[in-house]
C-alpha cells in the first residue's frame, strides 16, 4: 500500500485547517449548517451537568466510577426516547452511530432512515448523525439531561465531528489508528491519522475558545484476545497525537480480557505509562482518565449467563479504579439490545460497582508481575516506533504497522500485518503465541512461551490455531479458556 | 487454500458496511481445514463483489455473513441478482445477527429464506455442522434433475438438529 509518509505529528496550522474545513463541510449537504461561532456559543450555554469533562473531572476527584451504555437508533424521536429511558441508570450518555455513516455512505444511511420510517422500527444499527445534521443533533441534545458522547468507528470522522460538536455533544470517541485498523479494510493508515488530526485540532480550537471537549481513543480494538500492550501502545500514540493538536481532556481505554490480575494490571499500567509518555513529550496541562470496556468478544446467548460476564467486567473495572465503564447488555449475543436489556446491564453493573467500591485495593504478586511485563512490552515497542519515525510518532506509527512492529490480532485492515497471534495461558491471561514482527524483548517472549507451554501440557495437546479458535469461542460457550472437551 | 484442486469451492465474505473480521477468519480457517477451497473476500463486501467472485471462480456456494444488524437491508435481492448474472443453481447461505433487535429466530429465518437463501444460521451454529450441510447441498445440486429429492423435509430436519448447538 502506498502511504503518505509526509504525515508528521505537528499541530495543523490555521490556514491549512480552514482550507480543509471548506472541503469537509461540502462533502454532504448538512455540512452547510455548521457554523463554528454558533457552535461555541451553543457549547458555552450548556450547563456543567451537560459537560462530559465536568463529569470526568468530578469522578476522578471523588473516585466514583461513571457508567455509560451504548445506544443508537435511526430516528431522532426514537433515539431521544431511548437515551432518556437509559439516563436514570447511567452517568453519561452515548450516541452510537450507524455503520453506513461510519464509512461516509450517507446515501445508504438516508435510505436506512427512510426504510426505518416506513417500517416503524429502526433498521439501522445506530444514529445517522451526519444525515440528521446540526438541527437534528441540537434537538437531540436539547432533550437530554446528561452529557452525551459520539461513539462510532469512523476512519474519516471530520464532518461528523463538525456537526456533532457544533450541536452540543461534549465528547468524541475515536482515533486515527483505533478507528482504522479494527474498522476499515482499505483506508491507508496515514490518511486516517491525518483525518483524526483534523478532529483533534477542531477539539483544540474549541479548547482555544474555553470550551473543553473530551476525547477518547477507542481502547478495545478488535475486542478479541488483544494483549494489553497492543491496545496500550495505540492508546498512548493517539493520546500524544490528540495532545499535539490542543486536546486537554483525554480518556484512554482498555477492553476486558478476562483474567482478573491481567486486567487490573492493564488498567493500572495504562495510566502510569500514558502519564510517562505524555510528560516525557512535554505535555503537562491535561486531564487523563480511563475507561474500561466490559468484554467485547462473543457473549453467551443465555441472558443470565451474559449478566455474569457483565458482572465480571464490572468487578474488575472497579478493582482497577477505572474512571468510566462501558456497559454491555444481556442481549449482546443477538446484536442491538432493547432499552430494557440495556437498563438491566447498567443495573447489574451498578450493583457490582457499589459492592466493590468500599473494599480495599488489591495487591497481589500476579498483578505486580503483569504490570512489569506490560511495561516492558510497551517500552520496547514505543522505542522502536520512535526510532522508525526518527522521533515522530505519527510517521513512526505508520511505518510500525507497515512492518508489523505494531500488529492487532483479528483486524480487518489491509494496513495491519495480522501475524501476531494471541492465545490464553492456563489461567486465562492473554499471551503471545506468535509474535510476528513485533519486537518484544527476548525474556518477555520466553515468558509468554512458558505460560503457553504450561497450558498445552495441562490440556495434553500442542498449542495451535485450533487452541486460539477455541479461546475465541470460549466465553460464549460459558468458559474463559477454550479447553478441549473432556 | 490447499495446493490440490478441491471438490468444493465457495466464496466467503461479510456483506455491506460490516467490518467484523473475527468470525470471518474463523469460518475461513474451518472450511479450509475441511478441504473446501475458499475465496475469502473478507469484510465490507457488496452483493456485486460476491457474485463477480462466484462467477469468476465457478463457485458452488456463496456464504454471506452479517453481524452488525444491517443484513436485512444489505441482502435484499441477492438471489435475483445471482440469477441475473447466470448463477441459477448456486447454494446461498447467510448467517450472523441478521436483523436489528432480538427477533425470534424462526421469523428471521423465514425472512431470509423468502429472499432466496437456502439456509440461515445463528452466530452460535457449530461450523462443523455447516460444513456437513454445505457438502450435502452442493452434492444434491450436482445430481441430475431426475434424482430430485424432497429438499423441504430433508432440510427442516437437519435444521432442528442444529438449533440447540
CA distance A301 to chain B (A): 8
pLDDT over 90 at A83, yes or no = yes
CA distance A145 to chain B (A): 26
What is the percent of chain A with per-residue pLDDT over 90, rounded to a whole number? 97
pLDDT over 70 at A48, yes or no = yes
State the cell numbers at A257: 480480557
Q: What is the pLDDT of residues A265-276, one digit of tens each?
A: 999 999 999 999
Quote the pLDDT of residue A262. 98
Q: What is the pLDDT of residues A339-372, one digit of tens each?
A: 999 999 999 999 999 999 999 999 999 999 999 9
The verdict on ipTM greater than 0.95 is: no
pLDDT over 90 at B91, yes or no = yes
3-state secondary structure of B62: strand
- Phi, psi (rounded to 5 degrees) for B142: -80, -20
CA nearest B164 in A: which residue?
A301
Q: Which of A100, A301, A336 sits opposite B17 (nearest CB)?
A: A100
Quote the pLDDT of residue B147. 53
Helix, strand, coil abundance in chain A, percent, nearest 5:
55, 10, 40
Give the residue among A46, A25, A42 at the shortest CA–CA distance from A34.
A25
Q: Where is average pLDDT lowest: A13-22, A439-448, B146-155?
A: B146-155
Quote the pLDDT of residue A401. 98
Please provide the average confidence, as pLDDT, over all residues in chain A.
97
Mean pLDDT of A63-69: 97
State the cell numbers at B105: 429466530
Q: A335 pLDDT band (50/70/90 cuts)?
A: confident
On the 0-12 / 13-18 / 19+ scale of CB atoms within 10 A, A340 is exposed
Cross-strand bridge partners of residue A317: none
Q: What is the pLDDT of residues A30-46, one digit of tens each?
A: 999 999 999 999 999 99
pLDDT over 60 at A94, yes or no = yes
What is the percent of chain B with per-residue pLDDT over 90, rounded to a whole number? 77
Active site residues of B: 18, 20
Quote the pLDDT of residue A365. 98
Which domains, ranges and CATH numbers included, belong to chain A?
Answer: 14-355 (3.20.20.240), 419-486 (3.90.970.10)
User: DSSP E strands: which ranges in A193-313?
Assistant: 214-216, 249-255, 287-293
Cα–Cα distance measured from residue B63 to residue B91, given in angstroms and rounded to the nearest whole number: 8
Q: B160 pLDDT band (50/70/90 cuts)?
A: very low
Q: Which of A99, A301, A334 sits opposite B17 (nearest CB)?
A: A99
Quote the pLDDT of residue A253. 98
Query: Do the Cβ atoms of B100 and A124 come within 8 Å?
Result: yes
- Any A CB within 8 A of B116 CB: no
Q: How far is CA A48 from CA A147, A211, B141, in A?
A: 9, 11, 66
Cα A389 vs. chain centroid, distance in angstroms? 24
Q: What is the pLDDT of residues A167-222, one digit of tens each?
A: 999 999 999 999 999 999 999 999 999 999 999 999 999 999 999 999 999 999 99
Cα–Cα distance measured from residue A172 to residue A197, given in angstroms and rounded to the nearest whole number: 13
Helix, strand, coil abundance in chain B, percent, nearest 5:
45, 20, 35
Mean pLDDT of B85-92: 95
CB A43 within 8 A of CB A172: no
Q: What is the pLDDT of residues B28-59, one digit of tens each?
A: 999 999 999 999 999 999 999 999 999 999 99
Query: Do the Cβ atoms of A103 and B17 come within 8 Å?
Result: yes
- Phi, psi (rounded to 5 degrees) for A271: -65, -45
CB A74 within 8 A of CB A112: yes
- Mutation pick from B102, B121, B164 vs chain A, by most beta carbons of A within 10 Å, is B102
pLDDT over 50 at B162, yes or no = no
DSSP per residue, A318-371: HHTT-SEEE---TTGGGSSPPHHHHHHHHHHHHHHHHHHHTSPPP--HHHHHHH
Amino acid at each position: 500500500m502506498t502511504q503518505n509518509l509526509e504525515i508528521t505529528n505537528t499541530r495543523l496550522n490555521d490556514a491549512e485547517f480552514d482550507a480543509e474545513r471548506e472541503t469537509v463541510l461540502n462533502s454532504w449537504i448538512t455540512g452547510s449548517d455548521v457554523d463554528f461561532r454558533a457552535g461555541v456559543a451553543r457549547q458555552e450555554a450548556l450547563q456543567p451537568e451537560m459537560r462530559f469533562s465536568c463529569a470526568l473531572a468530578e469522578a476522578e476527584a471523588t473516585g466514583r466510577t461513571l457508567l455509560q451504555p451504548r445506544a443508537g437508533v435511526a430516528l431522532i424521536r426514537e433515539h431521544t426516547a431511548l437515551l432518556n429511558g437509559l439516563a436514570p441508570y447511567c452517568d453519561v450518555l452515548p450516541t452510537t452511530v450507524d455503520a453506513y455513516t461510519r464509512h461516509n455512505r450517507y446515501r445508504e444511511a438516508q435510505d436506512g432512515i427512510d426504510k426505518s420510517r416506513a417500517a416503524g422500527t429502526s433498521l439501522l444499527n445506530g444514529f445517522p448523525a451526519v444525515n440528521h445534521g446540526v438541527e437534528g443533533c441540537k434537538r437531540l441534545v436539547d432533550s437530554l439531561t446528561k452529557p452525551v458522547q459520539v461513539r462510532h468507528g469512523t476512519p474519516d470522522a471530520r464532518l461528523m465531528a463538525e456537526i456533532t460538536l457544533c450541536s452540543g455533544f461534549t465528547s468524541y470517541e475515536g482515533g486515527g489508528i483505533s478507528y482504522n485498523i479494527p474498522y476499515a479494510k482499505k483506508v491507508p493508515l496515514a490518511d486516517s491519522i491525518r483525518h483524526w488530526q483534523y478532529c483533534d485540532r477542531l477539539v483544540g480550537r474549541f479548547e482555544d475558545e474555553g470550551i473543553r471537549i473530551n476525547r477518547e481513543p477507542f481502547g478495545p480494538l478488535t475486542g478479541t484476545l488483544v494483549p494489553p500492550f497492543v491496545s496500550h501502545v495505540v492508546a498512548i500514540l493517539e493520546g500524544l497525537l490528540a495532545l499535539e493538536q490542543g486536546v486537554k481532556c483525554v480518556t484512554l481505554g482498555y477492553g476486558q480480557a478476562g483474567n482478573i490480575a491481567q486486567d487490573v494490571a492493564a488498567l493500572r499500567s495504562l495510566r502510569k505509562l500514558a502519564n510517562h509518555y505524555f510528560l516525557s513529550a512535554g505535555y503537562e496541562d491535561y486531564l487523563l482518565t480511563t475507561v474500561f470496556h466490559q468484554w467485547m468478544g462473543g457473549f453467551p446467548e443465555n441472558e443470565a449467563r451474559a449478566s455474569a460476564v457483565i458482572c465480571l467486567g464490572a468487578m474488575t473495572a472497579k478493582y482497577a479504579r477505572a474512571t468510566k465503564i462501558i456497559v454491555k447488555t444481556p442481549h449482546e449475543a443477538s446484536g442491538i439490545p432493547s432499552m430494557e436489556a440495556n437498563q438491566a446491564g447498567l443495573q447489574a453493573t451498578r450493583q457490582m460497582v457499589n459492592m466493590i467500591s468500599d473494599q480495599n485495593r488489591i495487591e497481589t504478586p500476579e498483578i505486580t508481575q503483569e504490570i512489569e511485563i506490560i511495561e516492558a512490552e510497551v517500552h520496547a515497542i514505543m522505542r522502536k516506533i520512535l526510532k522508525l519515525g526518527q522521533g515522530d510518532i505519527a510517521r513512526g506509527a505508520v511505518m510500525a504497522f507497515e512492518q508489523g512492529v505494531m500488529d492487532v490480532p483479528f483486524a480487518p485492515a489491509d494496513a495491519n500485518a495480522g501475524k501476531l497471534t494471541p492465545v490464553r495461558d492456563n489461567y486465562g491471561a492473554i499471551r503471545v503465541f506468535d509474535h510476528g514482527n513485533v519486537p518484544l524483548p527476548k525474556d518477555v517472549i520466553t515468558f509468554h512461551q512458558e505460560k503457553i507451554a504450561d497450558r498445552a501440557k495441562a490440556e495434553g495437546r500442542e498449542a495451535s490455531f485450533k487452541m486460539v479458535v477455541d479461546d475465541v469461542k470460549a466465553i460464549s460457550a460459558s468458559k474463559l479458556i477454550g479447553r478441549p472437551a473432556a | 487454500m490447499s495446493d490440490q484442486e478441491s471438490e468444493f469451492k465457495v466464496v466467503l465474505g461479510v456483506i455491506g458496511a460490516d467490518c467484523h473480521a473475527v468470525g470471518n477468519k474463523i469460518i475461513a480457517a474451518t472450511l479450509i481445514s475441511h478441504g473446501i477451497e475458499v475465496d475469502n473476500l473478507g469484510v465490507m463486501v457488496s452483493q456485486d463483489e460476491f457474485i463477480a467472485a462466484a462467477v469468476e471462480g465457478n463457485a458452488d456456494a456463496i456464504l454471506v455473513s452479517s453481524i452488525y444488524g444491517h443484513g436485512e437491508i444489505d441482502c435484499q435481492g441477492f438471489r435475483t441478482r445471482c440469477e441475473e448474472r447466470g448463477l441459477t443453481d448456486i447454494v446461498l447461505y447467510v448467517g450472523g445477527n441478521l436483523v436489528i433487535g432480538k427477533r425470534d429466530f424462526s421469523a428471521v429465518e423465514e425472512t431470509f429464506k423468502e429472499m432466496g437463501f437456502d439456509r440461515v444460521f445463528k452466530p452460535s451454529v457449530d461450523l462443523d455442522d455447516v460444513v456437513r450441510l454445505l457438502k450435502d447441498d452442493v452434492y444434491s445440486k450436482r445430481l441430475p434433475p431426475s434424482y430430485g429429492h424432497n429438499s423441504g423435509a430433508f432440510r427442516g430436519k437437519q435444521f432442528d438438529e442444529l438449533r440447540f448447538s
